[in-house]
A and B are shown apart, each in its own frame.
Chain A
Amino acid sequence: MRKCKEWIIEKLVFLCGMASIVFVGLIFLFLLKEGLALFATVNPLEFLAGKKWYPISEPPQMGILPLILGSLLVTVGAAVISVPIGVSCAIYIAEVAPASIKNKLKAGIELLAAIPSVVLGFIGMVTLVPWIKQLFHLPTGLTALSGSIMLAFMAMPTIVSIAEDALYSVPKSYREGALALGATHWQAIYRVIVPAASSGIVAAVMLGIGRVIGETMAVMMITGNSAVMPESILQPVRTLTATIAAEMGEAVVGSEHYFGLFAVGIVLFVISFMINVTADLFLHKNRS
């Protein structure tokens, strides 16, 4: 009796353990099931490299290059802002700050991570967007730059917390050795501690970028949503994520537009999958 119960429970626990694998598989499967239907009518190369995204015109034109470039532009902008600030912040918290300040800074960053993206998007709309419009004398403040700034904020909690973990896990003896040899604290940090934690910091940056590429609501609210080839950072753009979120509500289930949006979902899933697996490799390299 007892053995039987143990056996049932063990199987149940095993099933739940497999749940994550099953769900990742299911997500990919259903994206493929709906998305690949598009390629019966549209050439995959045209889909990826086409410069026109007019999904509901007759015949529909499904080129996602402007969307890919929009995502890329916003992401690069966000990375340029968030990586130096985020990594510096992690160094300060892990190495320099006294305990009392450290806890306050960490609380502030946890707070930022907790704010829902739609709230950040709303705040960006009412504060940052008019400000950008005035500063650069633009017809609209809904630009790639506004999106980059807001997304940089959303990437920073990820970058700071993972980079900080990596810096903490550097053995104490490294720093003590450097200080004993006469290095100042700063020299010890940038010559010894940061290089020792470098693979963890790379992972932190990658996961932060992954967060930015996948971010949807804030980006849809403040980048202006125009699906044209972006020429400058002071111009409205549209990202992959915003396209799905903005158009899926109107797409008819089973139409070409519907399949096209799932195909965009496949592109996003593949990008985030590659980023996560690579970041995981870097994290494990750090540990071993």
Chain B
Amino acid sequence: MKKNPERSQKIAFFFLLLANLLIVVPVGLIIVIIVAKGFPALTWEFISQMPRQGMRAGGIFPAIIGTIYLVGGAILFALPIGVLAAIYLCEYATHSRMSRVVKLAIVNLAGVPSVVYGLFGLALFVVFCKFGVSILSGALTLGIMILPIIITASREALESVPPAFREVSLSLGASKWQTIRNIVLPNAIPGILTGAILGLGRASGETAPILFTVAAFYLPRLPSSVFDQVMALPYHLYVISTQVPNVDEKIRYGTALVLLLLVLFMNSVAILIRNKFRKQKRW
């Protein structure tokens, strides 16, 4: 048979499309299953009440609050450091040898397995700093984990501000820091915000880093200080789906749905901000 390039192209493109469907269709199915089975559980009581009867009844309120405290603490820690680190890379140390090393460190920080962050948090914050198994230890561990996301997003945002903006400001007599604070940063805010929210989404879904640093198995009350343990949504889902027998399927799916909605909500907010400001850009 003679080789027919047109036909082999058709066959090849068919398989390429098939590869896409193999990813996208299961993703759609996963979302549909969780929404369909979790939606009936999603009542006001489920969201606003304490768990009862060893987590087999009642709501998931403390887990939701715990996750909010943890990601709030993580972002308070990571955002200032991350933005300043990005400023260092973009404005102070451009193309120096040091910046190459810093970038490599960021890549590695992003690649450290999440459970290793958990070990690190346990050794440094819980044991060495004596913070104990607490919100503080968990939030700091999550903060270090999302640092690379925030630095990378902030760096892209700062780099997209045209150099002419800086030159004009400097030529008018502004100092370097005045230029950064008044000209560069305001123009980079949307990008930085996008990165921060993506970091929040990541932190709220991670389980392994909080396993030994903060997460409580079953604690039907709210924390009173940063040295308290809390329940957290992802760990709660793990617990009720593997550790506690005879949990109603509805509660499991409901918890998965709440976690999924929380993460997807943050991601879509980040994407909306990005798209909105991309359109507004005047340069």
User: Residues of A with Cβ closer than 8 Å to B?
Assistant: 2, 5-6, 9-10, 12-21, 23-24, 26-27, 30-31, 33-34, 84-86, 88-89, 91-93, 96-97, 104-105, 108-112, 114-123, 125-127, 153, 156, 160, 183-187, 189-190, 207, 210, 213-217, 221, 241, 244-245, 248-249, 253, 261-262, 265, 268-269, 272-273, 275-277, 279-280
Contact = CB atoms under 8 A, between A and B. Distances in A.
A105 B211 contact: no
A122 B92 contact: no
A17 B16 contact: no
B120 A5 contact: no
10 contacts: A6-B176, A19-B81, A23-B105, A24-B108, A110-B267, A114-B267, A117-B207, A126-B252, A261-B119, A276-B111
B30 A118 contact: no
Nearest to A26: B124
A207 B12 CA distance: 26
Contacts of A214: 111-116
B272 interface: no
Contacts of A115: 27, 30, 205, 260, 263
B224 interface: no
Nearest to A222: B242
Contacts of B211: 245, 248-249
A111 B80 CA distance: 28
A248 B122 contact: yes
B115 A12 contact: no
Given A92-B19, A186-B13, A13 B84 contact: yes
B172 interface: no
Contacts of B245: none
B74 interface: no
Given A91-B16, A122-B252, A249 B208 contact: no
Given A110-B267, A248-B212, A262-B119, 14 more contacts: A6-B175, A20-B109, A27-B112, A89-B20, A108-B28, A109-B24, A114-B267, A116-B260, A125-B241, A153-B23, A156-B23, A186-B8, A186-B13, A269-B116
Interface in B1-59: 5-6, 8-9, 12-13, 15-20, 22-24, 26-28, 30-31, 33-34
Given A17-B93, A18-B102, A115-B260, A244 B115 contact: yes
B5 A187 contact: yes
Contacts of A245: 115, 118, 208, 211
Contacts of B118: 244-245, 248
B89 interface: yes
Contact of B260 (A19, A119, A183, A207): A119
A16 B84 CA distance: 6
A85 B23 contact: yes
Contacts of B195: none
Contacts of A89: 16, 19-20, 23
Nearest to B241: A122
Main secondary structure of the interface of B (DSSP, over half): helix
A133 B116 CA distance: 32
B234 interface: yes
Contacts of B267: 110, 114
A23 B148 CA distance: 11
Given A21-B101, A114-B263, A153-B26, A16 B81 contact: yes
Contacts of B15: 88
A258 to B, nearest CB: 9
A217 B208 contact: yes
Give the one of A86, A93, A118 with max B CB within 10 A.
A118
Nearest to A111: B27
Given A217-B207, A249-B212, A30 B111 contact: no
B123 interface: yes
Given A13-B88, A108-B28, A269-B116, A210 B16 contact: no
Contacts of B177: 5-6, 9-10
